[in-house]
Amino acid sequence: AQSVAQPEDQVNVAEGNPLTVKCTYSVSGNPYLFWYVQYPNRGLQFLLKYITGDNLVKGSYGFEAEFNKSQTSFHLKKPSALVSDSALYFCAVRDYSSGGSYIPTFGRGTSLIVHP
């Protein structure tokens, strides 16, 4: 079984400050890890993914995430937050040994609020 935990329901940060949205995962094999962003009443937009290779993954809108296998974490980061980054962020994991059907498991989501 695979699972994802996003321990913070909400993260508040001032504009211009660095931000971190936390994610930890559990899979029986090796993970594929993803971050998505959702704006109000909209679908999910893909931000970035880790499949293999460099542990630091760079994605859309200046976001990056660091895969840490020993801590089973995949925290989302951005050096300087913008008010427009305020949204709901989802971490997702898939065990790549689970076969041909991609069924990601999503975390509960973290609401990021960036204050002017």
Partner 1 sequence: SQTIHQWPATLVQPVGSPLSLECTVEGTSNPNLYWYRQAAGRGLQLLFYSVGIGQISSEVPQNLSASRPQDRQFILSSKKLLLSDSGFYLCAWAMGTEAFFGQGTRLTVV
Give the integer Cα–Cα distance in Å for 78 and 83: 12
Q: Which stretch binds partner 1 (CB under 8 A): 16-24, 44-52, 63-71, 73-81?
A: 44-52
- Binding residues with partner 1: total (CB under 8 A): 24
| Interacting residue with partner 1 among 1, 53, 70, 102 (CB under 8 A) | 102
Q: Which stretch binds partner 1 (CB under 8 A): 20-28, 56-64, 70-78, 95-103?
A: 95-103
Q: What angle do CA 16, 19, 21 make, to 5 degrees?
A: 160
Q: Alpha-carbon Rg of the chain, whole angstroms?
A: 14
Give the integer Cα–Cα distance in Å for 37 and 112: 10
Using rule CB under 8 A, residue 61 touches partner 1: no
Q: Which stretch binds partner 1 (CB under 8 A): 19-27, 31-39, 69-77, 78-86?
A: 31-39
Q: What angle do CA 76, 82, 87 make, to 5 degrees?
A: 60
Using rule CB under 8 A, residue 35 touches partner 1: no
Please give the distance of CA 50 from its chain centroid, rounded to a whole number: 10
Q: How far is the CB of 101 from partner 1 (least distance, A)?
A: 5
Q: How many CB atoms lie within 10 A of CB 45?
A: 13
Using rule CB under 8 A, residue 5 touches partner 1: no
